[in-house]
Amino acid sequence: MIRKAKITTLAELKKRKKQVRMESELAKREFAHSIGTTRNNTTQFLLKKVAAPVGGGILGLMLLNSIFSSSKSKIPVIKETKVIHEYPDGKPYVPGKHRSRGRSRIKRITSLIGGLRVAMPIIQAVIGAITAHRANEAAQTAKHAAARK
């Protein structure tokens, strides 16, 4: 942005106001474009530089493990377990009856967190779509403003 001499007339003020409005619209569009570009570049980087080497390393370790473990004869191990039908305080277990309210609260909290983990990408996609729509509207407004000149 080049600074000119001070504005002295109303026409110069209106002209400068239009220029500032166009510059702000351009900045908004560039910002929206850079967010999309950054998202794509980050995804590509993570896939090519992180996920692929880590996945290859894990597959290689699994292959080595299967090669070296197959040479040993496997002996089946039988484990004996005993089921205790009472709580540590000595009270007998009653099926269908909850032990405490704390456990149900924990289940509610964990299910809420799980639901949020599912909902977050959806919310982010909606916000991204809204941002893209606003950027498109701003671009159309700027295009119409430029056409009116």
Does the pLDDT of residue 18 top 90, yes or no?
yes
Torsion of CA 104, 108, 114, 115, to 10 degrees: 150
**pLDDT reported for residue 102:** 58
Higher pLDDT, residue 147 or 88? 147
Report the chain's mean pLDDT, rounded to a whole number: 80
**The total number of structural domains that make up the chain:** 1
Residue 3 lies in a domain: no
Residue 41 lies in a domain: yes
**pLDDT reported for residue 21:** 92
Residue 127 lies in a domain: yes
Residue 90 lies in a domain: no
Q: In this predicted model, what pLDDT tens digit does every residue of 88-103 receive, in sequence order?
A: 677 776 666 555 555 6
Residue 15 lies in a domain: yes
Domain that holds residue 32: 10-78+103-148
Residues 6+ apart with CB under 8 A from 145: 18, 21, 22, 25
Residue 93 lies in a domain: no
> Where residue 85 falls among pLDDT bands split at 50, 70, 90?
low
Higher pLDDT, residue 127 or 75? 127
Q: Model pTM?
A: 0.31
**pLDDT reported for residue 23:** 92
Q: What is the 3-state secondary structure (H, E, C) of 6-55?
A: CCCCHHHHHHHHHHHHHHHHHHHHHHHHHHHHHHHHHHHHHHHHHHHHHH
Residue 92 lies in a domain: no
**pLDDT reported for residue 20:** 92
Residue 5 lies in a domain: no
